[in-house]
Structure 1
Amino acid sequence: MPREWTCFEDALRRTVQRYVKRGRIDVYINKEAEDGTSPLVSFNHHAVSAYVKAAQDLSQQYGLDGTLTVKDLLSLPDVLHSPEQPKQNEQDDLNAWGNLLQEGLIQALDGLVLMRSQEGKHLATDVEQRLIKLQTLHAEMTKLAPSVVEDYRSKLKQRLSELNDGSFVFDEHKFGMEIAIFADRSNIDEELIRLKSHFEQCKGLLRADEPVGRKLDFLIQEMNREVNTIGSKANHLTLVNRVVEMKAELEKIREQLANIE
């Protein structure tokens, strides 16, 4: 914003923070004349002369090469300034500008909030549809989970039968212990229960009338953790395929959540 308005920066920043709870917002404020043109600027010749002399002194004293260009000079502080008209009551005038800046900023923020609200509805719909897809995959995994141990039992028994050449006696007790150990190691009931709970929490947050972006980010991280655990436990091709599909959907949701406050 113009230099003479920097005293309003803190107040304007607090106004933005009331409207936006997440993300980065850049606000640009320009001053224009009544005819729509920018105010005239003039050179501060004293400042320019001081910069040029300082550059010459540095060059002579330290043997440095290079000269100041017009572009360099224009980027230095106090080289350009806007002529200001004297005011009878500068404090009253300053307060008037502060009120006007707040009014303009609030109008801009109202427009921003309206646009983000419309965009947020579309994003929420997309996330809800992906949650439905996740629930479908979850239901398939829940049905598959009991068959994992039974499939392993059948394959292991068949393999032992193929390897049995009469040199060893099949021990039903040891076989049962091996199946029990595998069943405990591959059990994914707890992960499936927690995933179901996370789905419901996500749906509730999407319907909430408050900033929920960070909470949703946390829930997606938790879902990813549960799905990764299922992937590491599952010794079943179909289950692993469902895990891959779930991770793909969760990544798409995570990308969308970056735009949700």
Structure 2
Amino acid sequence: MSQAPSAAGPAPLASMTAFARAAGAAGPWRLAWEVRSVNGKGLDVRLRLPPGFDLIEAEVRALAGRHLTRGSLNATLTAAREGEAVSVSVNQAALEALLTAARATAHKFSVPAPGLDALLTVKGIVEVSEAKESEAEMRALAATALAAFEEALTALCAMRAREGEALRAVLAGRLDAIAALVAAAEVLPERSLEAVKARLAEQVRALLEAAPALDSDRLSQEAILIATRADVREELDRLAAHLAQARHLLAEGGPVGRKLDFLAQEFNREANTLCSKSNSVQLTQIGLDLKLLVDQFREQIQNVE
């Protein structure tokens, strides 16, 4: 289950993909759970319980909710009873009465009397009943099933945590690569103040030559638009802020998958803006490389709780 950070270190970063088994026994019963989880937007618990075990469904779902926050969980319980599971009894009085009547009828019509095997198939002669546990035995069986389920969940969460730590390293590497691209964009020669001023002046001059009759208000609006598109300072600042937040979430651990997914969307938004505002081949290439890294980052995030 996701935990808050402590002085001992960050909470685990959990994957949503895992598998575990656990078994238990109560009296003549042998129980086994198989649990597996995959990606999911929320927590979706799907149970397969054998007949007679419906009474533990609510507690099983509650246990799952205490251990997990996201993922599609499939849990299957199998139960087998050792030894005699049914009892068979013959209604002797009914069989004797039926045999007497059959012999009398056969004699009357001068036909052979039916054999015992035929008489035993008559409804009500042979009674088959399943062995039933007492109330105390059923309580013990339910407790064993729940304990085995929690054991399986614990193993599942441990596997999710191991997978999550591997994901943490992969995601940290993606963030480092994104940071390197942002740093490269910061030092591009065409982003220097002099280059931006020169480019802005050239665009304003071209605007005046193309439309010399522009009034001052319209010219101011066009100049502001050109100035806005002349630099990507705001985009780079937002990317740096998103990087800091993403690294904080990775260090914090716990169920941060949704927050990281939101940040991935913001990364992608800024990368798109970089490409649309680019005024150089180098910046365009950085924007395209950034989009590729963000896509890889977001793909990995889909498996984070």
TM-score range, shorter chain: 0.5 to 0.7
Q: Does 1:205 align with 2:253?
A: no
Residue 253 of structure 1 is matched in structure 2 by 297
Q: How does 1:1-261 map to 2 (within 5 A)?
A: 1-34=49-82, 84-87=130-133, 89-90=134-135, 92-144=136-188, 146-147=191-192, 149=196, 152=199, 181-261=225-305
| TM-score (norm: length of structure 1) | 0.68
Deviation at 1:34, TM superposition (A): 4.4
| Residue 106 (structure 1) shift | 1.0
Matches of 1:238 and 1:230 in 2, distance apart? 11
Q: Which sections of structure 2, spanning at least 5 residues, go unmatched?
A: 1-48, 87-128, 213-218
> Which consecutive segments of 4 or more residues in structure 1 shift more than 3 A?
150-157, 176-181
Amino acid of the structure 1 residue aligned with 2:292: A
Number of residue-to-residue matches in the alignment: 201
Higher helix share: 1
Q: What SS does the aligned partner of 2:71 have?
A: coil
Task: Quote the sequence identity (%).
Answer: 32
Distance in 1 (CA, whole Å) between partners of 2:299 and 2:202 is: 41
In structure 1, what is the Cα distance between the partners aligned to 2:253 and 2:199? 48
- Aligned AA (1:206): L
Q: CA deviation at 1:123?
A: 0.7
Task: Give the C-alpha shift of residue 141 in structure 1.
Answer: 1.1
How far apart in 1 are the matches of 2:289 and 2:198? 22
CA distance in structure 2 between the partners assigned to 1:20 and 1:200 by the alignment: 27
Note the residue ranges of structure 1 that are not aligned, 5 or more in a row.
Answer: 41-82, 170-175
CA–CA separation in structure 2 for the residues paired with 1:151 and 1:128: 39
Who wins on radius of gyration, i.e. which is larger? Answer: 2
Cα distance in 2 between the residues matched to 1:209 and 1:139: 26
Question: Cα offset for 1:182?
Answer: 2.5
| Higher RCO by CA contacts (8 Å cutoff, separation 6 or greater) | 2
Which residue pairs with 1:74 in the alignment? none
Provide the secondary structure at the position in 2 that maps to 1:2. Answer: coil
Residues 34-68 of structure 1, C-alpha deviation per residue, up to 9 Å, x if partnerless?
A: 49xxx89xxxxxxxxxxxxxxxxxxxxxxxxxxxx
Residue 179 of structure 1, CA deviation: 7.1
Give the aligned CA root-mean-square deviation in angstroms: 3.0
